[in-house]
Amino acid sequence: MKKYDKLYINGEWVAPHGQGESQVINPFNDDVAGVVPQGDQQDVDNAVSAAKAAFSSWSATSPEERADWIKKLADALGARMKEVASTISQEMGMPISMAELIQAGLPYTVMSSYVDIARNYKFTEEMGNSLVTKEPIGVCGFITPWNYPLHQVVGKVAPALAAGCTMVLKPSKEAPLNAFLFAEIVDEVGLPAGVFNLVSGPGSVIGEALAGHPDVDMVSITGSTEAGVRVAQTAAKTVKRVCQELGGKSANVILDDADLQAAVSAGVQQVMMNCGQTCVALTRMLVPESRKDEAIAIAKATAEAATLGDPAQEGFHLGPMSSRQQAKGVKDYIRKGIEEGATLVIGGAEDPEGFEGGAFVKPTIFADVTNDMTIAQEEIFGPVLCILTYKDDEDAVRIANDTVFGLSGAVWSQNQERAVKVARRLRTGQVGINGGGFNPLAPFGGYKQSGNGRELGEYGLEDFLEVKAVNLPKAS
């Protein structure tokens, strides 16, 4: 068990002003995986003051210097990837083999990517008689989730460092241990005091304080749409920039000429990864009416091959949900789907055999789903797939776009040009074509109620920059 009793503020581990502590529960066995302190408004004030004081010197460093610091962080993170994976697996239940690839591997990849981005980005350009400069926005507040916790931390911290910003991080209360491990790495490499600060505690206290703080220039949140709305409302009082990566209900559009076996099986596996606790999960599978039965049979067979198990064991299986509370919410949605008339193909709301009373949920697939059903419109955040049918390409696009969300999507066709044409019509931030993989250099973010702003790559850097025009006298 990891026990932390101090916060990381101004380059030091300091006793919190806030009282109390939070236990981090392993969702597989209900063991206490760790303990972290609960900060309060005063701790936020102290952290923001440290970040504000550090900003003048950090923002004045050259991009090359900042790239060197990011490289140090990436190297130190790489040296502790096994520890990162084990920590996150215990916090939120992802099986260790997947955690090593994703929960540890992805943050390392993203941190490393900003070394070259910081060195090569054009922070100044000439435009007529003007110099257009891109400067760090200032002190940033970060609010991060529990499903891919360190990836979301690094996805904000790395571009902020590259831009020349300073920051205060509030990690998820369900999975904060990885953030404390990251703060250890920051301390280990000797990042200048005040550039990175960590304050843990409930969102109703720490998140609210960051979002409303007059000395925080920008707040970035990854979380539910409800949380994003609340942060935006609070931040509006000080007219600060707000970047939000929020919910999703993404459509997987399988066109009538697609390789159905490949498309459906890949779609099921994508939804089940991390037990469906993925904002970009393709939870609405759209198939042609003429191929409905075939698609359902492939989906069922794919889900039947999925196994549940101990997240500490090597191998590619499903672990528990992140908590019993999360599992309960998913099971409630499954019951709602049955009540609304969807056909349960596999799975259900009962506890899986051998895992009674815990945080496990059966991989579940519904057919005969219509887009007005609750399970087709609301983000379930569990291993639940809805299969819907459509008449033609026009109908598929209409159904795919008929949601308040717009985070991700996919299109499958043996004609790539046709697939891209459909993808361009989807109102969503990213679309995979025929299984096209995640690109950590490409912009990531959503349309509509999936948020605003972009993360990753150069686009992620630009969210942390202000643009200034320096108008020079015209030559006579």
Assess if residue 445 is contained within a domain.
no
462 is catalytic: no
At 474 the pLDDT is 87
Mean pLDDT of the 451-457 span: 97
Whether 145 and 256 share a structural domain:
no
Q: Give 359-373 pLDDT, tens digit per residue.
A: 999 999 999 999 999
Assess if residue 305 is contained within a domain.
yes
Assess if residue 378 is contained within a domain.
yes
The answer to whether 276 touches 94, Cβ cutoff 8 Å, is no
Residue 404, Cβ neighbours under 10 Å: how many?
14
Tokens found for residue 201:
């505690």
Q: Kindly indicate the confidence band of residue 476, based on its pLDDT and cuts at 50, 70 and 90.
A: low
Helices (H), 7-121: 41-58, 63-79, 81-92, 96-98, 105-120
Assess if residue 475 is contained within a domain.
no
Whether 242 and 260 share a structural domain:
no
Q: Is 169 exposed, middle or buried (0-12, 13-18, 19+ CB in 10 A)?
A: buried
At 39 the pLDDT is 98
Point out the catalytic residue in the list 140, 165, 275, 279.
279
Q: Is 417 exposed, middle or buried (0-12, 13-18, 19+ CB in 10 A)?
A: exposed
pTM of structure: 0.97
Whether 189 and 272 share a structural domain:
no
Q: Kindly indicate the confidence band of residue 54, based on its pLDDT and cuts at 50, 70 and 90.
A: very high
Assess if residue 476 is contained within a domain.
no
Q: Kindly tell me the sign of the dihedral angle through the C-alpha atoms of 322, 356, 316, 378.
A: negative
Reference 77, options 186, 198, 216, 204; nearest CA is 186
- Which single residue is written with the structure tokens 């900060």? 39
Q: Kindly indicate the confidence band of residue 475, based on its pLDDT and cuts at 50, 70 and 90.
A: confident
Q: Kindly indicate the confidence band of residue 197, based on its pLDDT and cuts at 50, 70 and 90.
A: very high
Mean pLDDT of the chain: 97
For 14, list phi and psi in degrees, rounded to 5. -125, 150
Cβ contacts of 330 within 8 Å, gap of 6 or more: 276, 321, 361, 380, 381, 382, 383, 384
Assess if residue 10 is contained within a domain.
yes
417 is catalytic: no
Sheet of strand 432-433, all strands in order from the earlier edge strand to the far edge? 343-346, 364-367, 384-390, 284-288, 251-254, 409-412, 432-433
Q: How far is CA 148 from CA 145, 155, 199, 236, 323, in A?
A: 7, 11, 19, 28, 14
Mean pLDDT of the 188-213 span: 98
* β strands within 223-363, DSSP E: 241-245, 251-254, 284-288, 343-346
Whether 232 and 368 share a structural domain:
no
Helices (H), 190-289: 208-212, 225-235, 260-272
Q: Kindly tell me the sign of the dihedral angle through the C-alpha atoms of 469, 471, 475, 476.
A: positive
Whether 189 and 322 share a structural domain:
no
Whether 234 and 291 share a structural domain:
no
Whether 34 and 87 share a structural domain:
yes
Whether 241 and 257 share a structural domain:
no
Point out the catalytic residue in the list 91, 100, 208, 245.
245
For 348, the 3-state DSSP assignment is coil
Whether 269 and 354 share a structural domain:
yes
Segment holding 157, helix H or strand E: helix 149-163
At 305 the pLDDT is 97
Helices (H), 354-409: 374-377, 393-401
Sheet of strand 124-127, all strands in order from the earlier edge strand to the far edge? 124-127, 130-136, 465-471
- Percentage of the residues of the chain whose pLDDT score is greater than 90: 98
Task: Say yes or no to pLDDT of 352 above 80.
Answer: yes
Q: Domain of 156?
A: 2-246+450-470
Amino acid in the structure at residue 105? G
Task: Supply the CATH number for residue 229's domain.
Answer: 3.40.605.10
Task: Supply the CATH number for residue 286's domain.
Answer: 3.40.309.10
Whether 288 and 221 share a structural domain:
no
Mean pLDDT of the 25-54 span: 98
Q: Give 237-264 pLDDT, tens digit per residue.
A: 999 999 999 999 999 999 999 999 999 9
- Which single residue is written with the structure tokens 């887009």? 371
Distance CA 45, CA 29 (A): 37
At 357 the pLDDT is 85
CA atoms within 13 A on the CB side of 24: 30
Whether 116 and 264 share a structural domain:
no
Task: Say yes or no to pLDDT of 411 above 70.
Answer: yes
Number of domains in the chain: 2
Whether 360 and 387 share a structural domain:
yes
Q: Give 115-174 pLDDT, tens digit per residue.
A: 999 999 999 999 999 999 999 999 999 999 999 999 999 999 999 999 999 999 999 999
Mean pLDDT of the 287-316 span: 97
